[in-house]
Amino acid sequence: MNKTRFIVLGGLIAIFCFTGFCFSGLAIGAEEACITCHKKVSPGLVLDWESSRHSKEGVTCSVCHGENHTNARDFKKAILPDEHVCAQCHEKQFNQFMKGKHHFAWKALNALPITHVEPDELMEGGKGCGGCHNVGVKTKAERMDLHKRGYRYQNNACDECHTRHSFSKKEALDPRTCQRCHMGYDHPQWETWESSKHGTRYLIKEKGELPKNAQAPTCQFCHMPNGNHDNKTAWGFIGVRLPLPKDKQWAADRVTILKALGVLNPVTGKPTARLDVIKSVDMVRLTDAAWKTQREKMIKTCSRCHSESYAKRQLAYGDSMLRKADRLMAEGINIVAGLYRDGIIKKPKNYAFAYPDFLYFMRTGGGNMEHMSHIDQVLFQMYMKHRMRTYQGIFHLNPDYAYWYGWAMMTKDLGEIKELAKTMRATAKIEK
């Protein structure tokens, strides 16, 4: 228990007198008023709070929201608590959270050029990209800016898994809590896990049709072992890392991918300013040691149910699959890069280089953005959808995602890219 928590709880205990019922003083009057009035204006919310550990521990409305708002008109005086308020009593989880990846989510979102040309509803409004990336921490300045522009909510990161106002541990332990964000187009972890051996067994067990001790790991079991809020994986989302591998072909292919991510200058091969941005949100493991730490942590987790050598072998399949996926990917990038080089695709003016740029996603114009060619869109899909599925499918043990939705689609994309490039070159020749 840290100092602040002691003071807050101490204060609460002091205002309870010994009968436990005879509330005294202004604070308790206000507290009752919050609950009485909110039972009328938002009864569902109060029911959730009443179901929480907090309601039993004296963590009342005003502990989190302050006491300045007292009637139906002055509600804007209520504090909308950010994660630092939770940290006052849950320092351990807060500190772990700040070491993991989730707290970077808002910063990582804003680091992408695409974010700043998309509709606000999809960002600040908390739908679309912002609806998932608000698990990240916002700086005070970012919060002020959002409030000024009318986006008053989404201040708290912890309640993405511990839904307000029940703030439950049990709910956070359910894999469906992760499903909301870890699903779909570019990160189908839910789908891959749910229909893997691990997931199907978990679902059968949930129905009570397996012995209680039957083992079936959840997302939390593998990614938050022992309740640790510091979540990070070896390869991360984009599946590239440093230093470059010893395998010469793989090293060359990864360099090609890093160029298409705008992290290396396509002409000189030197790092660009984007590398610093990617570093600042811990998007890639930058050293062997950083990668190994995460890999070893995972092997330890697998080894709770499997033999260590089995687990190592299984994870090594994921690594070698990435190497093979990168071969196809680099071939696709090089074909499209050749079209830029030969002036067949013109450099969009917002691009830094005449080279494919994955961080602009699939724009077809609008804002200050120019139209992206169809072949660029196919290339982007090959990277963001099919390469992701290929290796994520292997790591989450899903045969169908790894093959049909992943690898098979990458080969189809590459075929399409080759065909499109041929046609584009032929057309350019005729036009000349």
Q: Binding pattern to ligand HEC, positions 254-283, x when CB under 6 A?
A: ---------------------------x-x
User: Among candidates 102, 284, 84, 90, which has minimal Cα distance to 178?
Assistant: 102
Nearest approach in angstroms of CB 413 to ligand HEC is 20
For ligand HEC, which is the closer residue by CB, 354 or 397?
397
Query: Using the rule CB under 6 A, is 152 a contact of ligand HEC?
Result: yes
| Binding range to ligand HEC, per CB under 6 A, among 49-57, 264-272, 349-357, 413-421 | 49-57
The answer, yes or no, to whether the previous bond of 175 is cis (omega within 30 of 0) is no
Size of the site for ligand HEC (CB under 6 A): 125
Nearest approach in angstroms of CB 159 to ligand HEC is 5
Do residues 113 and 349 make contact, with C-beta atoms less than 8 angstroms apart? no
User: Among candidates 226, 233, 240, which has minimal Cα distance to 296?
Assistant: 233
Query: Distance between CA 282 and CA 242 in Å, rounded?
Result: 12
Q: Which residues contact 148 (CB under 8 A, 6 or more apart)?
A: none
Query: Distance between CA 33 and CA 421 in Å, rounded?
Result: 69
The single-letter code of the amino acid at 324 is K
Q: Which of residues 106-125 bind ligand HEC (CB under 6 A)?
A: 108-109, 112, 114-115
Nearest approach in angstroms of CB 419 to ligand HEC is 28
Select from 143, 147, 164, 279 the one that contacts ligand HEC (CB under 6 A).
164
Please write down the long-range contacts of 344-352, taking CB distance under 8 Å and 24 or more positions apart: 344/424, 344/425, 344/428, 345/373, 345/375, 345/376, 345/424, 348/372, 350/113, 352/262, 352/272
Q: Which of residues 284-323 bind ligand HEC (CB under 6 A)?
A: 295, 298, 301-302, 304-306, 311, 314-315
Select from 29, 227, 365, 367 the one that contacts ligand HEC (CB under 6 A).
227
Q: Which of residues 191-220 bind ligand HEC (CB under 6 A)?
A: 193, 197-198, 201, 215, 217-220
Do residues 155 and 80 make contact, with C-beta atoms less than 8 angstroms apart? yes
Distance of CA 149 to the CA centre of its chain: 25
| Binding range to ligand HEC, per CB under 6 A, among 69-77, 248-256, 266-274, 335-343 | 69-77
| Binding range to ligand HEC, per CB under 6 A, among 149-157, 246-254, 263-271, 321-329 | 149-157
The single-letter code of the amino acid at 313 is R
Q: Which residues contact 302 (CB under 8 A, 6 or more apart)?
A: 222, 308, 310, 311, 314, 315
Nearest approach in angstroms of CB 225 to ligand HEC is 8
User: Among candidates 146, 163, 168, which has minimal Cα distance to 155?
Assistant: 146
Query: Using the rule CB under 6 A, is 381 a contact of ligand HEC?
Result: no
For ligand HEC, which is the closer residue by CB, 165 or 354?
165
Query: Using the rule CB under 6 A, is 102 a contact of ligand HEC?
Result: yes
Q: Binding pattern to ligand HEC, positions 5-24, x when CB under 6 A?
A: x--xx---------------
Query: Distance between CA 182 and CA 413 in Å, rounded?
Result: 24
Do residues 166 and 48 make contact, with C-beta atoms less than 8 angstroms apart? yes
For ligand HEC, which is the closer residue by CB, 259 or 387?
387
Q: Which of residues 71-90 bind ligand HEC (CB under 6 A)?
A: 71-72, 75-76, 78, 80-81, 83, 85-86, 88-90
For ligand HEC, which is the closer residue by CB, 77 or 346?
77
